[in-house]
Every structure is written in C-alpha cells, then in structure tokens.
Amino acid sequence: MPNRKYADGEVVMGRWPGSVLYYEVQVTSYDDASHLYTVKYKDGTELALKESDIRLQSSFKQRKSQSSSSSPSRRSRSRSRSRSPGRPAKGRRRSSSHSREHKEDKKKIIQETSLAPPKPSENNTRRYNGEPDSTERNDTSSKLLEQQKLKPDVEMERVLDQYSLRSRREEKKKEEIYAEKKIFEAIKTPEKPSSKTKELEFGGRFGTFMLMFFLPATVLYLLLMCKQDDPSLMNFPPLPALESLWETKVFGVFLLWFFFQALFYLLPIGKVVEGLPLSNGRKLQYRINGFYAFLLTAAAIGTLLYFQFELHYLYDHFVQFAVSAAAFSMALSIYLYIRSLKAPEEDLAPGGNSGYLVYDFFTGHELNPRIGSFDLKYFCELRPGLIGWVVINLAMLLAEMKIHNQSMPSLSMILVNSFQLLYVVDALWNEEAVLTTMDITHDGFGFMLAFGDLVWVPFVYSLQAFYLVGHPIAISWPVAAAITILNCIGYYIFRSANSQKNNFRRNPADPKLSYLKVIPTATGKGLLVTGWWGFVRHPNYLGDIIMALAWSLPCGFNHILPYFYVIYFICLLVHREARDEHHCKKKYGLAWERYAMKMWRVLLCPKWVFFLWVFFSNLALLPHM
C-alpha cells in the first residue's frame, strides 16, 4: 500500500482540472484503489484529484516572497537607467523587459488568489462532479491592474475572461440584489392577465350555432308529440303551417306576463343582500323578494279564476305561447349582445369573452347586464319562467278536468303539480342561494340563459302535466305513496346538500358549520369533505335526479316521452359535473384531487344512477317506443 502524502483535514493547494491555477482546498478522504484524493474547495465543491495536482501551501508562499524580493530591485534599476538621456535604446529594451516582469507578477497573483475556481468547459463538467458558479473578475486583481496601469496582452485578457476571480460572497450578494430588483419591477408593473375565453364549450362556434336552431326545434317537437294520440318516438308529428304557430294576441299576453313580473321585482319589499365578490372586488346588491312576487301572482291568478277567466286558454294555445317566448328570448339576446359591446372588460363574463360573435352571443358576453338597479339575468333566473311553470301546471290541471269532465283532477296530475310546486316554492324561498350558483357567478347572460329561463324551463319542465292532459294515467294510492316517499327522499338530499354548500360559501367561519371538515387549498379557501359532500361529489345533483324521476313516474310506462325531462336533466348535470370538476381542478389543484379520491363515486355517482335507470326503464318501455 503506498504511503499517503497528505492527511485528512490538511489544507493544501489543489489544481483546478483543465487549468494551471491552484486554489486552497481541504483534503477530506483518500481512495487506496484509485489513489485519488477527495478535496473540498472553499465554495463547497468536492473533486477527486491526483497527488500530482496537489501542492503544499508553503511552496506558493516561497515563490511569492522570491517574486516580491526581486521585483523592487529590477524596478529600481529600470527606473534609474531610464532616466539617463544618453542611452535611449537600452532604456527601451529595459522597458520591454520591465513589462514582461510585471506580466509574470500578475500571473503569480492570479495563481495565488484563493477564491472561486473558474468555470470549466463542457467536457470538464462531464468528467468532474460540479463546478463553482461565478462569472466576473476579482476586485483585488482589478485594483492592482489599475494601480500599475499596465495593459494586459491578449493572453491575459483571455485568462481574466475565462476564470472568475470575484469572491462568492460578493457575487451572491450581487445576485440577490439583482433578483430583488426584478421582483420589484414585476410588482410595480404587473402584467395584466388576459380575460379572453380560451376553452370553448358546447362544441365551440359550430356547436353553439347549431344549438340555437336545435333547442327551439326540440321544444316544438316535444309539444307537438304530446298533442298526438300516439306520442311514440317513431311516430313523428306532421309539421304545422307557419301561420298557425304565431298569434299576436298570444305574444301580447306573454309580454304582459313578463312586465307584470318585472313590476313585482321592482317593488320595495324584501331584504337587499350583496352577491359574491366580482373579479374587481365589487359586490352587487340584489333585492330578495321572489317569494313575495309568487304570493302576489297567486293572488292575481286567484282573482282571475274568481271572475271566471278561462285559464285553459293557455292549454289551447300552448305551442303559440312557446313560439312567442322563443321570439322574445331571441330579441332579448340580440339586445344583450349589442349592449355588451360597450361594456367595460371587467364586466364581461369569464366564459363568454372568446372574441367569436356566435359563441359569445350564445353563452353571454356580459356577466351582469343591468338597467339601473334592474338586474336582467337575476330577474329572468327565477321570475317569469319559474313562476310561469307553476301557472302552466295549474292550467293543465284545469284543462284535464274540463276535457275529461272530472270534478276532481286525477291523482297523477295532483302528484305532478304538488311535487313541482314544492320545487318552485323552495327555490323562491331560498332565493338568496341562487347568488352562489354558476349561472350568476360565471355564466354571461346570452341566448343560452335567456332561452333556458323563458322557454325551456316553463314549457319543457311542464311536459309531464301537458302529457297527462291528453294521456291520463290512473295510479293506486300505494303507488302514489311510494312515489311521494321517493320525491321526499330526493328533496331532503337536495335541500340539505344545497344548504350546506350555500352556508359554507357565504360564511365558512359560521359556528353552525363547525362540525364540517374541509381540505385547505392554495387559494385560501376550503373544500367540504364531510356531511353530504363526504358521500358523493355532487349530492345536490343526486337529489335533483331522484326528484325528476318521481315527477315522471306518475305518467306511467306507456311511453318514454314523459321521461325526457329525466334524461335531459341527467345529461345536463353530467355536463355541469364535468365543468365544475374542470374549474375546481384549475382553482384548487391538489386539494381537489385529494377531495375527489375521498368520494364514493362508484356507489352514489349520479351517472351510475342514470345508467341503471335507463337500463330498467328501457326494458319496460321498449314495446311502446
């Protein structure tokens, strides 16, 4: 075994690989097999060096002393001889000799500088593990060069540019100052994020263009089907004449209804609450008087019935009312889009600012269009369509009694009217909860919501009652009791889940919600993981689907048409679930993934309820489709 020349912990001078420069290092270990010393530089870099690349510090000190002792004598001789005017040529020769001596001094100074090692080439980086990170000259050597006023030659400039001679402490301090400066500049002039909608839904421009024709056609098709004696899907109804679809008197009645509800909205009754903060931090104010508007509407309808007003006029002209509502919603959508072009960018909807006319027209370009304090979107969300749904159901009940000469409505019609009346009254009683929904906080007010609120909700959601007028179904009391229990279960899940969600969104620190557990997110908010939200990701959607099924069961199993609402509603909620999941992943990140893993999606996911229901219902309905 060869003897070691340098012991562990000994401070020596190590040559930096690929260069002729030596730096102060400390021996940390020795490998007997490879005969290499592991040394550590002052900046923390550890390298394996051969014994020939390591020298004692004393050898460098002796050279330095010899260099310093000889330099003054030579400098003094050169100065004394250069003063003699009789020997100019020799003086010039000594001057050149003098410059060479100074170049050697500078090289020795550079070699003896125990600072950051130079940055090696790419090949050295692959060969050795690590390198010091420095890029500028050493202050001490720069000052010496300035004091001596000697111009370095090309070789010296190359050495100074290649090797870093600035202390790592000074370099690190400079980097910190530079980083702080960049941060300050970024804070002082922040980049404004783009508010353009990049991710398009509903199939983008082509999909939304087709939906503007498909949705009205679907409503017309469903209503014409219900009027047939055999409303099977394969029995396509004949197309009516265009002039039969429009009646000016019907359109006037619809306008009267719309402005009648607008008048109730403007009444100074009910409390005023603030909505959720907008993107600019501002909160809009809303008057909560939807339930009062429902009571006033009920009183007005009762007065009309007292004076023998034929409410079943609505049934006789049901298709014309739907066409009038569709025409009004289109005119309202055009007005909303035109006015949105002048709206400031902060008032535009996050999901309806794509820059494409058709897409923004369909999804809604402006988030909260208002005429003074009159919020158009909030008004249409619950008033004309939702209350109109109840009025239409009542008209169908009266029409059934008149057409079939009944003194009492059928049990099926009573169940449908009762279940859907409970749903509407619940929505109006809990009107404030609407302010936390996606329709208010995210979606703009365009054709999608205008048509949905004014046409789809009142004329499609009342499809069961409209169906029962022409196709009465007799059910027994035990069956009615079972359907009622099913609806109550769905309503309980729906209401309790929504109450937990809305109360938590309003005030997460509410002592009444202290029993709920949350997962903190990077945004400072939390995700509910207990209560109903600990069983399934969208318990409110599950309750909605159970209630929708209870509304359709009184119509029997002769045709699938009354179940269109259930099928559509599940498709809508699956789309909303996917959209909510996408937004939550972007907003909450890892916390949402942790929450999603806790859910019993296989057991209670609404999509599985849908698939099971479709399978069994199709077995019963297959002969009648």
340 neighbors 355 (Cβ within 8 angstroms): no
The token pair at 111 is 């070699």
Residues in the chain where the model's pLDDT stays below 50: 1, 64-99, 102-103, 106-157, 159-166, 183-193, 588-625
Beta strands, E only, 199-267 = none
The token pair at 50 is 């051969």
Evaluated on CA atoms 255, 318, 459, 389, the torsion sign reads: positive
Selection from 541, 295, 300 nearest residue 425 by Cα: 295
Evaluated on CA atoms 541, 544, 549, 552, the torsion sign reads: negative
The pLDDT assigned to 517 comes to: 73
The pLDDT assigned to 617 comes to: 46
Residue with tokens 């059928």: 410
Selection from 437, 93, 152, 69 nearest residue 286 by Cα: 437
539 neighbors 497 (Cβ within 8 angstroms): yes
The pLDDT assigned to 578 comes to: 64
The pLDDT assigned to 293 comes to: 96
CB atoms within 10 A of CB 81: 14
Instruction: Report how far residue 338's alpha carbon sits from residue 465's, in angstroms, rounded to the nearest whole number.
Output: 37
The pLDDT assigned to 520 comes to: 67
